[in-house]
C-alpha cells in the first residue's frame, strides 16, 4: 500500500487479496521455525531481534519463490521485496522493545514508591555482569543504581544502561560521598584474591556497605542478578585462581570404577565424594565413623546424583573385620583414605587415640587394599607431618612412612598427597572465628606472628584427584599452597567483613601457643627435595627410606600399647618412628628420661 501511494498508483486489490494468504502462511512458518513465538516479550532482547531479522529474510525469500511459482509475481512491485523485511523487523521488534521498557522501568507494585527505603547503589565494574545487575536493579523497588566505576579509562564518561561510568575504582570514596551512595556492589566475577583484597580495602576506607557477585566459576550462566548478591567472604580474599585440571585423565581413573572414600563424611572426604560422584563411578562406597556425617553426605548425594550407585557404611577404619567385609563385598579399585583425627591440641592429651586411628587405622586400610588387590590407594596427609611438633602431625607422618615403604612390597599403588589448611573445614580456625564474631567477640589468636597455608576445599580435593591420576606409586605429592597467611590478618579481615572494626567493635586477644602448636608450618622436609610435575600446582617430594623391619616392629608395639592403653609408650613409639618429632611437653621428657634410666 505504501509502495502504490508513493508512486500515486491505484492499488490492485485483486492481486493483494490473492497474494496475502501466501504471504501470511509463508511468513508465519518462518517465524515459527525461528522460534519467535516461544519467546516472552517480558524478556525480549538482542537474540529476539536477530530471530526477527532472520525470519524476515527467510520469509521474504519464501514469499518471492511462492509468488513466482503462483503467478510470476504479477501485479506485485519488486521494490516491496526490499521494503517488506524492513517494515517487518520494525513492526515486530518495536512493540517488544516498548513492552520490555514499560515492564522494566514503568511499573511499580501498588502502594510502593521507588523513593521510599530505596538504596542508592554504586556498581564496581562495567562489564556484562555489571550491566545485567543494573538491569535487574532498575526493575526492583529497593535498589536504585546510580552509576559505575571501572579501571578501564576508555569507559570514563560512557553510559551503561543509561547510567554513567564515573571513573576509576580508586575514586570510590569521593564518588560515594558526592552521590550519597548507600551500597557498593562488586560486579567483577573474574577478580583474583589480590584484586578483591584491594577493592575490599577501598570499600572499608570509604565506610560503605558492600556486596559482591560470586566468582565466575561459581556463576551459572545468566544468573548475575540480584539473587546472586552476597556478602564478601574470607574465601574471596584468601581463595586463589581456579585450578586447571586434566579432567580426562582424572575421569579415566574414576569413571566406571568402584571407589572407596574413608572418612567420607568429613570436610575433605565429603567434598571428595561430591567431586567423584560427578565423574560417574560404578559404585561410590563411603566409609564413615560418624553416623550424622554419613547420613548428611548420603542424603546430599542422593538428592544431587539420583543415578549414582551409592553405598554408605558405618565403619571404623581400625575395625579390620569390618574393613575386610567391605573390601570383599565391593572389591574397590581406588581408595581415598581421608579418615583421620586432626585436632592438634586435643590429640596432645589423647595420644593413644591418635596412634590407633591415624597410624594403625591407616595401616589397616593399606593392608586391606593389598589383600583385595585394589589398584590405587591415596593417603590424604597434612603439612603438620613435616618436622612435626605435635602428636597429630607425627601420627600422619607415621602413616606416610608406612604407605611409602609398603608400596614396594605390593602390587597396589600407594600415593600420599600432602597440603595445608583448607578454608572452612570442620574444627578449623575460620568457623571458630565466625562463631566468635557472631557472639560479639573476643576473637582469640594464639600468637601475633603465627602463619598458616590455606586453600579452598574444592581446590584441595580436585588437586588430590589430579595427583592420584598422575601417581605411579610411592610418591609424596605436595600441593602448591601459595604464600602463608598470618592468622592475625585473617582475624582482622573476618571482623571487617562482618561490618565491625577490629579492636574497636570486636577485640582480638592473643592467648599464647597451644600444646603442640608451631608458629609456622612447612610443606616438605629438608631431605625431601621438591621437583616439579607436569601440573604447576602439584610438586613431588623425594621420599625417605626407613628400614621395613623397624617399621613393622614399632607398629606391632604400637598395637600392643593401644590394647593396654599405655599412652606414654604410644608417644615414645611415635617419636621413635618419627625422630624429627619435637617433644615439647613434660610428659615426653619424663618418658624419655625413664627409659634412658632403665638397664
348 belongs to a structural domain: yes
Q: What is the pLDDT of residue 439?
A: 87
Q: What is the pLDDT of residue 110?
A: 41
Residues 6+ apart with CB under 8 A from 564: none
239 belongs to a structural domain: no
143 belongs to a structural domain: yes
User: What pairs with residue 376 in β-bridges?
Assistant: 334, 413
Considering the domain architecture, whether residues 97 and 126 belong to the same structural domain is answered as: no
Has 593 been annotated as catalytic?
no
Q: What is the CATH number of the domain that holds 218?
A: 3.40.50.720
The span from the CA of 89 to the CA of 33, in Å, is 16
Residue 447: closest CA among 491, 386, 482: 491
Considering the domain architecture, whether residues 322 and 176 belong to the same structural domain is answered as: no
Considering the domain architecture, whether residues 366 and 466 belong to the same structural domain is answered as: yes
Considering the domain architecture, whether residues 172 and 155 belong to the same structural domain is answered as: yes
Q: What is the pLDDT of residue 589?
A: 38
Catalytic residue among 384, 396, 518, 537: 384
Counting as low any pLDDT under 70, the low residues of the chain are 6-9, 38-45, 103-117, 140-141, 214-230, 235-236, 239-243, 424-427, 523-524, 526-528, 582-599
Q: What is the pLDDT of residue 300?
A: 95
Considering the domain architecture, whether residues 39 and 130 belong to the same structural domain is answered as: no
Considering the domain architecture, whether residues 271 and 363 belong to the same structural domain is answered as: yes
Q: What is the pLDDT of residue 514?
A: 78
513 belongs to a structural domain: no
* pLDDT 10s digits, 60-85: 888 888 888 877 777 777 778 888 88
The span from the CA of 344 to the CA of 582, in Å, is 14
pTM given for the model? 0.68
Torsion of CA 557, 562, 568, 570, to 10 degrees: 50
Q: What is the pLDDT of residue 41?
A: 67
Considering the domain architecture, whether residues 11 and 139 belong to the same structural domain is answered as: no
Tally of domains within the chain = 4
* pLDDT 10s digits, 44-53: 667 778 888 8
- Tell me the CA distances in angstroms from 536 to 93, 244, 463, 540, one per residue in order: 51, 9, 11, 11
Considering the domain architecture, whether residues 478 and 383 belong to the same structural domain is answered as: yes
Considering the domain architecture, whether residues 300 and 355 belong to the same structural domain is answered as: yes
Q: Quick one: what percent of the chain has pLDDT higher than 70?
A: 85
Q: Which residue, of 545, 560, 582, is where some domain finishes?
A: 545
Considering the domain architecture, whether residues 96 and 150 belong to the same structural domain is answered as: no
Domain carrying residue 56? 2-105
431 belongs to a structural domain: no
Q: What is the pLDDT of residue 153?
A: 84
Q: What is the pLDDT of residue 523?
A: 67
Considering the domain architecture, whether residues 80 and 100 belong to the same structural domain is answered as: yes
Considering the domain architecture, whether residues 29 and 164 belong to the same structural domain is answered as: no
Is the preceding peptide bond at 459 cis, omega within 30 degrees of 0? no
Q: Which residue, of 105, 140, 156, is where some domain finishes?
A: 105
563 belongs to a structural domain: yes
C-beta neighbour count of 431 within 10 angstroms: 14
Q: What is the pLDDT of residue 220?
A: 45
- Tell me the CA distances in angstroms from 506 to 315, 443, 449, one per residue in order: 43, 7, 20
Amino acid at each position: 500500500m505504501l509502495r502504490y501511494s508513493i508512486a500515486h498508483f491505484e492499488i490492485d486489490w485483486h492481486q493483494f487479496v490473492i497474494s496475502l494468504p501466501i504471504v501470511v502462511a509463508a511468513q508465519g512458518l518462518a517465524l515459527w521455525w525461528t522460534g519467535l513465538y516461544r519467546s516472552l516479550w517480558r524478556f525480549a532482547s538482542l537474540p529476539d531481534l536477530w530471530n526477527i531479522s532472520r525470519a524476515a529474510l527467510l520469509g521474504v525469500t519464501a514469499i518471492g519463490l511462492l509468488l513466482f511459482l503462483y503467478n510470476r509475481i504479477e501485479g506485485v512491485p519488486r521494490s516491496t521485496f526490499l521494503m517488506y523485511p524492513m517494515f517487518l523487523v520494525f513492526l515486530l521488534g518495536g512493540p517488544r522493545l516498548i513492552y520490555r521498557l514499560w515492564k522494566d522501568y514503568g511499573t511499580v507494585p501498588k502502594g510502593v514508591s521507588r523513593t521510599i527505603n530505596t538504596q542508592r547503589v554504586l556498581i564496581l565494574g562495567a562489564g556484562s555482569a555489571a550491566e545485567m545487575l543494573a538491569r535487574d536493579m532498575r526493575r526492583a523497588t529497593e535498589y536504585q543504581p546510580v552509576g559505575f566505576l571501572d579501571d578501564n579509562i576508555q569507559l570514563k564518561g560512557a553510559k551503561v544502561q543509561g547510567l554513567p561510568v564515573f571513573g576509576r575504582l580508586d575514586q570510590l570514596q569521593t564518588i560515594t560521598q558526592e552521590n550519597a551512595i548507600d551500597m557498593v556492589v562488586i560486579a567483577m566475577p573474574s577478580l583474583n584474591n589480590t584484586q578483591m583484597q584491594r577493592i575490599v580495602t577501598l570499600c572499608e576506607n570509604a565506610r560503605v556497605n558492600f556486596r559482591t557477585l560470586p566468582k565466575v566459576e561459581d556463576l551459572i550462566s545468566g544468573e548475575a542478578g540480584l539473587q546472586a548478591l552476597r556478602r564478601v567472604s574470607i574465601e574471596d580474599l584468601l581463595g586463589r585462581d581456579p585450578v586447571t585440571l586434566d579432567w580426562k585423565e582424572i575421569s579415566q581413573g574414576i569413571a566406571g570404577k568402584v571407589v572407596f572414600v574413608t572418612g567420607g563424611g568429613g570436610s575433605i572426604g565429603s567434598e571428595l565424594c561430591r567431586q567423584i560422584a560427578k565423574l560417574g563411578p560404578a559404585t561410590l562406597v563411603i566409609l564413615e565413623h560418624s553416623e550424622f556425617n554419613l547420613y548428611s553426605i548420603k542424603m546430599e548425594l542422593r538428592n544431587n546424583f539420583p543415578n549414582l550407585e551409592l553405598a554408605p557404611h558405618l565403619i571404623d577404619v581400625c575395625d579390620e573385620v569390618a574393613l575386610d567385609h567391605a573390601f570383599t563385598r565391593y572389591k574397590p579399585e581406588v581408595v581415598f583414605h581421608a579418615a583421620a583425627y586432626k585436632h592438634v591440641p586435643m590429640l596432645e592429651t589423647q595420644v593413644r587415640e591418635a596412634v590407633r586411628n591415624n597410624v594403625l587405622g591407616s595401616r589397616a586400610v593399606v593392608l586391606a587394599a593389598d589383600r583385595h588387590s585394589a589398584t590405587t590407594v591415596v593417603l590424604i596427609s597434612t603439612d603438620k607431618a613435616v618436622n612435626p611438633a605435635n602428636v597429630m602431625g607425627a601420627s600422619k607422618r607415621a602413616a606416610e612412612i608406612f604407605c611409602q615403604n609398603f608400596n614396594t612390597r605390593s602390587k597396589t599403588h600407594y600415593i600420599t598427597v600432602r597440603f595445608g589448611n583448607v578454608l572452612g573445614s570442620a574444627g578449623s580456625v575460620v568457623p571458630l572465628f565466625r562463631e566468635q564474631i557472631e557472639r560479639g567477640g573476643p576473637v582469640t589468636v594464639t600468637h601475633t606472628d603465627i602463619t598458616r597455608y590455606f586453600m579452598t576445599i574444592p581446590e584441595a580435593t580436585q588437586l588430590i584427584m589430579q595427583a592420584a591420576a598422575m601417581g605411579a606409586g610411592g610418591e609424596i605429592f605436595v600441593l602448591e599452597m601459595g604464600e602463608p597467611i598470618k592468622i592475625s590478618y585473617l582475624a582482622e579481615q573476618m571482623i571487617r567483613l562482618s561490618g565491625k572494626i577490629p579492636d574497636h567493635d570486636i577485640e582480638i586477644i592473643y592467648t599464647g601457643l597451644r600444646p603442640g602448636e608451631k608458629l609456622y608450618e612447612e610443606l616438605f622436609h629438608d631431605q625431601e627435595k621438591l621437583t616439579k610435575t607436569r601440573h604447576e600446582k602439584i610438586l613431588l617430594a623425594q621420599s625417605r627410606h626407613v628400614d621395613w623391619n623397624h617399621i613393622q616392629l614399632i607398629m606391632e608395639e604400637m598395637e600392643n600399647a593401644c590394647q593396654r592403653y599405655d599412652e606414654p609408650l604410644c608417644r615414645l613409639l611415635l617419636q621413635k618412628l618419627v625422630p624429627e618429632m619435637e617433644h615439647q611437653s613434660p610428659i615426653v621428657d619424663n618418658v624419655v628420661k625413664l627409659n634412658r634410666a632403665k638397664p
